[in-house]
């Protein structure tokens, strides 16, 4: 019979230990039950910094989704706390009322934020004051993000790694961030004062205010946080406070269960709780040889030893502690530290190079010819060698400064070769050089492929260039690009040109036909449908066989879905021009359907928000205006300025040209949105320099055409494509450029990425100079699309499919039988 293994804590250490156990065939030995306080599968806590900063989506940081637990036969109690351990009866009692027996028990409860008892932190009724946050879990991160919206300034208490990351994250959402640190320099756990000072300058250069030697004595504000008070009497005003003042291991349950607990649960070299043959602790809650760790690298080593031991895969396995060398990206600044921060004995050698104005600081501490400490702020190019030298006491160059600079030192390739096999490359996920080499030997020859299979580089990302070097070295220079990176959609293993060629050769006119003929085993793929539908419509124009399930909901009902399942309706208003009659109809519709919000958009038209799905056809009928296509991956609007007729500076009739462009290209499908503008002079009131295609009237009756501009998630000034003499030429070149983009851009690749990828010179050659001789074909193709255009609101009022406009919420009630 299988033994019962119970794991308390479903965080990074708990889940990793279970993975290691499964990898050693533990699935046959144990029936595994896991308890996790957080209501999710397990995720990469390190990446919460990125989620807070908005550079990673929550969904991307999950390591194992719920299906992993099912697939491995693990019973997961997510969102359930274990309350008590009875080590005599060998049972754990959980908050959901269950009692679970175990033969072996692993405690992996991690840590929680330490919250100093500052007056005002807590609210008698609510627990935490509503504007006060900690930073440990997904829920913490969500709460901060939610609150940050609509607030303007944040104070972060604590100038360590977490505090700086919190400040940086909140700042990226537009908040003024101040870090209040009780210590004399930032990250005083890892850095010496000089390195801390360099880091401070770099952080301040990002716009974050840093207050040192600042002890917080009070959090002010009763309903809302209004600020904090410092011991020197100063008050710093703010709307929210984040406390990042350190962590404390979660040991209460272990302690109450009678285990030996000091700072953490005390364990031996097999990670066994002392005196308890069947109970183990791993991760931040464990104390080994007096050490409690607060970073992930040691957890990986602990997890391996514990798995070797518990499965019997290696009965001699023992953990001897970790020499912590950390590589971190703190608020966008690379920091590495290991061992001593500075010299401690008289004959310790100490080499420092500091250029505070550049934000650079490097130092090494050498004792008896061995590296015993190093700190790098900014450039981590030497970190791999230093970490290895630190780890195993390699001989060092006589000229110590060589440790800090590439003074004729080995090139990157030789350094990849010289790195020893067990050198840890990715500290977030505990991946060694040997693991990377093994993945390459097993046939994965792309950098991204190796990253996927080993998870190297999937944490903070600071090791990615080293991973790439090692993969290249291991593959003998024959690395491959990740194949799927070049595919047009994830479900069909073809790049865009090959895919288009196959589609044309086989005459595939519907999305299901493409799957049937070109997907592996003919398998449909939901993630690929939208991209294929867009491509086919562009290629076949009127001949495209339109399958409704290939469309995203917006394109099924010609409106943009919103957070509550209602839709927004944006009628076309060419060039931003409207009439009293249109305004009257919009007003009537707003009244009749009790539209919750009527709003002038950033695209120079009017948005009716909160329309119920079932009302859409009637709204269109009452408006009697064409669709503005504010919902699709397609041609959107042409913004214009008043231009020649009214403006005293106007040099060209921007409104008329804008309307002409919008009339001609309305609704054209494309790999991503296409937004245009025409402006009447270089004052650029219609923001034409930052549009997918922008036209600017200049002196002498001429027009400049810019392409690849952006001012959304990315900001880029467009590149000048051509200067032409007539509005007709503008229209022709616009059509040709848009068609070239439609045919060649990747799915969801906006022009701001496409134009620099192809290069403006190359685009000019093709579109303006016709160097490839395809201009006439491009013109014809775009004409065919223009001809095939039908306004979806005029044609689409009768349901095309049963229940097309039936609400998905609230729902149709089925009568009782």
Partner 1 sequence: MTAEPHLLGRLDEIPVGEGRAYTVGGEQIAVFRLRDGNARAVSALCTHAGGPLADGQIDGDIVICPLHQHMFELATGCSTTGRPPLRTYALHIDPDGHLFVHL
Ligand X SMILES: Cc1cc2nc3c(=O)[nH]c(=O)nc-3n(C[C@H](O)[C@H](O)[C@H](O)COP(=O)(O)OP(=O)(O)OC[C@H]3O[C@@H](n4cnc5c(N)ncnc54)[C@H](O)[C@@H]3O)c2cc1C
The residues in 402-441 that bind ligand X, with binding defined as CB under 6 A, are: 428
Name the 3-class secondary structure at 40: coil
559 binds ligand X, rule: CB under 6 A: no
Name the 3-class secondary structure at 757: helix
630 binds ligand SRM, rule: CB under 6 A: yes
Which does residue 789 touch among ligand SRM, ligand X, partner 1, none (CB within 5 to 8 A, set by kind)? none
The residues in 471-530 that bind partner 1, with binding defined as CB under 8 A, are: 491, 512, 523-527, 529-530
Pairing state of beta strands 702-707 and 693-698? antiparallel
Phi, psi of 29 (to 5 degrees): -85, -35
Q: Residue from 496, 558, 574, 636 that binds ligand SRM (CB under 6 A)?
A: 636
Which does residue 82 touch among partner 1, ligand X, ligand SRM, none (CB within 5 to 8 A, set by kind)? ligand X
Rounded Cα distance, 450 and 473, in Å: 13
Comparing every residue's Cβ against ligand X, the nearest one is 11
Q: Which residues of 175-214 are buried (b: 16+ CB within 10 A; e: fewer)?
A: bbbbbbbbbebbbbebbbebbbbbbbbbbeeeebebbbeb
Q: Residue from 30, 35, 43, 793 that binds partner 1 (CB under 8 A)?
A: 43
CB 388, min distance to ligand X, A = 18
Which does residue 49 touch among ligand X, ligand SRM, partner 1, none (CB within 5 to 8 A, set by kind)? ligand X
Which does residue 568 touch among ligand X, partner 1, ligand SRM, none (CB within 5 to 8 A, set by kind)? ligand SRM
Q: Residue from 549, 614, 770, 772 that binds partner 1 (CB under 8 A)?
A: 549
Q: Please identify, using beta-carbon distances, which residue of 65 and 626 lies nearer to partner 1.
A: 65
Alpha helices in 314-407 (DSSP H): 383-392
Q: Residue from 23, 25, 39, 726 that binds partner 1 (CB under 8 A)?
A: 39
The answer to whether the annotation marks 428 as part of a ligand binding site is no
Site pattern 610..629 for ligand SRM (x: CB under 6 A): --------------------
Q: Please identify, using beta-carbon distances, which residue of 541 and 674 lies nearer to ligand SRM.
A: 674
Which does residue 807 touch among partner 1, ligand SRM, ligand X, none (CB within 5 to 8 A, set by kind)? partner 1
DSSP 31: E
181 binds ligand SRM, rule: CB under 6 A: no
Q: Residue from 174, 275, 369, 565 that binds partner 1 (CB under 8 A)?
A: 565
Rounded Cα distance, 172 and 158, in Å: 19
Q: Please identify, using beta-carbon distances, which residue of 8 and 494 lies nearer to ligand X.
A: 8
Is residue 785 a contact partner of residue 541, using CB atoms and an 8 Å limit? yes
The answer to whether the annotation marks 685 as part of a ligand binding site is yes
416 to 385, 391, 419, 451, 471: CA distances (angstroms): 9, 17, 5, 16, 9
Residue among 542, 303, 574 at smallest CA distance from 429:
303
Rounded Cα distance, 644 and 101, in Å: 83
802 binds partner 1, rule: CB under 8 A: yes
Burial class, 36, CB count within 10 angstroms (exposed 0-12 / middle 13-18 / buried 19+) = buried
Which does residue 382 touch among ligand SRM, partner 1, ligand X, none (CB within 5 to 8 A, set by kind)? none
Which does residue 296 touch among partner 1, ligand SRM, ligand X, none (CB within 5 to 8 A, set by kind)? ligand X
75 binds partner 1, rule: CB under 8 A: no
The residues in 434-473 that bind ligand X, with binding defined as CB under 6 A, are: 460
DSSP 510: S
Q: Please identify, using beta-carbon distances, which residue of 100 and 560 lies nearer to partner 1.
A: 560
Pairing state of beta strands 132-134 and 560-561? unpaired
Rounded Cα distance, 117 and 367, in Å: 42
534 binds ligand SRM, rule: CB under 6 A: no
46 binds ligand X, rule: CB under 6 A: yes
Q: Residue from 561, 618, 753, 784 that binds partner 1 (CB under 8 A)?
A: 561
Rounded Cα distance, 732 and 738, in Å: 10
Name the 3-class secondary structure at 532: helix
Number of alpha carbons in the 13 Å side-chain half-sphere of residue 188: 12
Cβ contacts of 312 within 8 Å, gap of 6 or more: none
Which does residue 603 touch among ligand SRM, partner 1, ligand X, none (CB within 5 to 8 A, set by kind)? ligand SRM
Pairing state of beta strands 209-211 and 424-426? unpaired
User: What's the per-residue H, E or C state across 157-181?
Assistant: ECCCHHHHHHHHHHHCCCCEEEEEC
Contact residues for ligand SRM (CB under 6 A)? 560, 562, 568, 570, 599, 601-603, 605, 607, 630, 636-637, 639, 673, 675, 710-714, 750
Residues comprising the binding site for siroheme?
685
Contact residues for ligand X (CB under 6 A)? 8-14, 35-38, 45-46, 48-49, 81-82, 108-111, 135-136, 162, 165, 250, 253, 283-284, 294-297, 299, 328, 428, 460
């Amino acid at each position: 019979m299988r033994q019962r293994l119970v794991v308390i804590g479903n965080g990074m250490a708990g889940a990793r230990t279970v993975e290691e156990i499964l990898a050693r065939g533990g699935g046959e030995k144990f029936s595994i039950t896991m308890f996790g306080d957080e209501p999710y599968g397990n995720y990469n806590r390190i990446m919460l910094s990125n989620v807070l900063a908005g550079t990673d989506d929550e969904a991307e940081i999950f390591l194992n989704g719920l299906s992993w637990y099912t697939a491995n036969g693990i019973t997961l109690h997510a969102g359930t706390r274990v309350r008590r351990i009875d080590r005599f009866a060998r049972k754990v009692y959980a908050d959901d009322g269950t009692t679970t027996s175990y033969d072996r028990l692993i405690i992996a409860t991690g840590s929680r934020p330490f919250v100093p008892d500052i007056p005002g932190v807590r609210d008698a009724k609510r627990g935490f004051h509503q504007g006060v946050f900690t930073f440990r879990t997904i829920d913490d991160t969500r709460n901060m993000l939610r609150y940050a919206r609509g607030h303007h300034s944040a104070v972060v208490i604590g100038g360590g790694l977490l505090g700086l990351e919190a400040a940086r994250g909140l700042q990226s959402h537009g908040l003024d961030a101040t870090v209040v640190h009780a210590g004399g320099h930032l990250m005083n756990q890892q850095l010496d004062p000089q390195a801390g000072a360099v880091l401070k300058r770099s952080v301040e250069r990002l716009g974050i205010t840093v207050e040192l030697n600042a002890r917080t004595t009070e959090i002010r504000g009763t309903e809302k946080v209004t600020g904090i008070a410092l011991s020197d009497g100063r008050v710093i005003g703010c709307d929210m406070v984040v406390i990042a003042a350190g962590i404390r291991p979660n040991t209460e349950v272990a302690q109450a269960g009678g285990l030996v607990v000091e700072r953490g649960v005390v364990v031996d070299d097999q990670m066994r709780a002392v005196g308890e043959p069947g109970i183990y602790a791993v991760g931040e809650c464990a104390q080994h040889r007096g050490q409690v760790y607060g970073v992930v690298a040691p957890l990986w080593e602990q997890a391996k030893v514990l798995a070797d031991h518990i499965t019997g895969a290696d009965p001699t396995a023992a953990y001897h502690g970790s020499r912590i060398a950390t590589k971190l990206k703190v608020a966008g600044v690379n920091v590495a530290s290991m061992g001593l921060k500075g010299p401690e004995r008289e004959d310790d050698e100490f080499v420092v190079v500091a250029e505070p104005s550049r934000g650079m600081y490097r130092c090494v501490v050498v004792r008896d010819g061995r590296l015993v400490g190093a700190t790098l702020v900014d450039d981590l190019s030497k970190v791999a060698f230093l970490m290895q030298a630190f780890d195993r006491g390699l001989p060092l160059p006589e000229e110590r400064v060589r440790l800090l600079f590439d003074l004729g030192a080995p090139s990157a390739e030789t350094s990849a070769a010289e790195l020893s096999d067990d050198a840890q490359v990715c500290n977030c996920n505990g991946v060694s050089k040997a693991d990377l080499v093994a993945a390459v030997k097993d046939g994965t020859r792309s950098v991204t492929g190796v990253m996927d299979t080993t998870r190297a580089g999937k944490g903070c990302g600071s090791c990615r260039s080293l991973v790439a070097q090692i993969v290249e070295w291991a593959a003998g220079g024959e690395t491959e690009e990740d194949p799927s990176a070049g595919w047009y959609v994830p479900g069909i293993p073809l790049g865009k040109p090959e895919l288009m060629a196959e589609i044309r050769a086989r005459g595939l006119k519907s999305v299901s036909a493409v799957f049937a003929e070109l997907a592996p085993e003919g398998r449909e793929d939901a993630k690929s449908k939208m991209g294929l539908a867009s491509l086919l419509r562009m290629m076949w124009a009127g001949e495209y066989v339109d399958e409704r399930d290939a469309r995203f909901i917006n394109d099924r009902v010609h409106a943009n879905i919103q957070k509550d399942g209602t839709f927004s309706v944006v009628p076309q208003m060419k060039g931003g021009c409207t009439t009293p009659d249109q305004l009257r109809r919009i007003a009537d519709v707003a009244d009749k359907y009790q539209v919750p919000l009527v709003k002038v958009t950033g695209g120079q038209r009017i948005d009716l928000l909160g329309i119920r799905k079932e009302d859409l056809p009637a709204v269109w009928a009452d408006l009697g205006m064409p669709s503005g296509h504010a919902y699709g991956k397609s041609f959107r609007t042409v913004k214009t300025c008043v231009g020649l007729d009214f403006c005293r500076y106007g040099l060209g009739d921007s409104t008329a040209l804008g309307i002409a462009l919008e009339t001609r290209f309305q609704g054209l499908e494309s790999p991503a949105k296409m937004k245009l503008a025409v402006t009447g002079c270089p004052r650029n009131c219609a923001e034409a320099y930052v549009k997918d295609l922008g036209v600017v009237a200049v002196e002498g009756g001429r027009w400049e055409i810019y392409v690849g501009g952006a001012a959304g998630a990315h900001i880029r000034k467009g590149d000048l494509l051509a200067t032409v003499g007539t509005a007709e030429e503008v229209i022709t070149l616009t059509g040709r450029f848009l068609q070239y983009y439609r045919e060649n851009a990747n799915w969801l690749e906006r022009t701001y990425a496409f134009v620099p990828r192809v290069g403006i010179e190359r685009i000019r050659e093709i579109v303006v100079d016709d160097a490839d001789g395809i201009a006439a074909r491009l013109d014809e193709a775009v004409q065919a699309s223009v001809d095939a255009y039908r306004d979806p609101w005029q044609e689409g009022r009768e349901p095309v499919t049963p229940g097309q406009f039936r609400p998905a919420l609230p729902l149709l009630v089925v009568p009782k039988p």
